[in-house]
Amino acid sequence: MMYITVDGMLSGTGLRDSKNGGYIDPDELGISDFLKSKLSAWLGQYANCHYMQYKDESQIELLDKEGMEICKMLKQEMPNLEIDYYSNAKLKRLPIN
C-alpha cells in the first residue's frame, strides 16, 4: 500500500510519499488528466498565498478545503492509497472531512 500526503509545498508536486519521503510525479501515479489539472491549479494558488506570507485567512481556508477535496478525488480514483492532508499554511495535518 502506498501512503500519500497531499500538500501545497512550494517546491513539491502536491503528492508526497509519506512512507519513503520525496514527491511523486502525478504522471507516474496514473491519475486522471482532470485531477492532474486540478492539482496543478491548486498548487499555483497555494504558491501565490505563500508569496503573500499566508496573510489572507479566508484564502487559506479555501485552499485547505480544496486540498481536502483533491484528497477525496484521489481516493476515489485510487482506492488502494492511504491519503492524508497537510496544510503548509497552518503547518499541520488536517482531518479530511
Q: State the pTM of this model.
A: 0.95
Closest residue by Cα to residue 67 from 89, 48, 92, 86: 86
Q: How confident is the model over 41-91, as pLDDT tens digits?
A: 999 999 999 999 999 999 999 999 999 999 999 999 999 999 999 999 999
Q: How many domains does the chain have?
A: 1
Residue 40 confidence (pLDDT) above 90: yes
Pairwise pLDDT comparison (11 vs 39), residue with the higher score: 39
Q: Supply the pLDDT for residue 1.
A: 87
Domain with 50 in it: 2-94
| Dist CA 55 CA 27 (whole Å) | 32
